[in-house]
Copies of this chain bind each other. A is one copy, B any other.
Amino acid sequence: MGKSLQNPLDRFVEQFGIAAKQDGLPRIAGRLMGWFVVHGGPASLSELADTLHVSRASISTNARLLEQLGVLERVAVPGERQDFYRFAENPYARLLESHVERLQTRLDHLTQLMPHVDEAGPDAVSRVQAMREFYDQAISSSESLMTQFDDAAPRIMRAANEDRANLG
């Protein structure tokens, strides 16, 4: 059978699920994230399990994962015992931070390799060095992007952002 791909909102949620897998997140985490981008929340675990048709266990696990990543936040709803989650106000700086951490790990691996790579000849040294430079630049670039989405300093970047092309 397969769920209705008709509804554009649902389709988007599924697309996000697929996309999530591509960068190493569980599919359900992606679907959750997609759902919250559209619907915002707050929503309870049971509610989410219901609408996304997955077990409450999976929702619990993946919601906490997204909370960890800064995408979701737990909020209290007055008079309710359940936990509620909602889309974080500005998850983007956090997301970039995770990304930078991954890049940094790779750079570390390359750096640890450096003292031993001369065994493999002088070309090896320059190949590794070139790759280190690539990761270094990639990290700088992402960090710079991070500041643009950092709540702590939004006013400073505002002017610079306004110079860039507006989206439709």
Could you list which residues of chain A lie within 8 angstroms of chain B, going by C-beta atoms? 8-9, 12, 15-16, 19, 21-24, 37-40, 87, 90, 92, 102, 105-106, 109-113, 115-117, 119-121, 123-124, 127-134, 136-138, 140-142, 144-145, 148-149, 164, 167-168
A22 touches B24 (CB 8 A): yes
- A38: chain B residues at CB < 8 Å are 113, 117, 120, 124, 127-128
A39 touches B124 (CB 8 A): yes
- Which of B22, B92, B129 is the one whose CB lies under 8 Å from A134? B92
B9 touches A113 (CB 8 A): yes
Given A92-B134, A124-B38: A109 and B24 within 8 A (CB)? no
B109 touches A9 (CB 8 A): no
- Which of B24, B119, B144 is the one whose CB lies under 8 Å from A141? B144
State the CA gap A37–B106 with chains docked (Å).
13
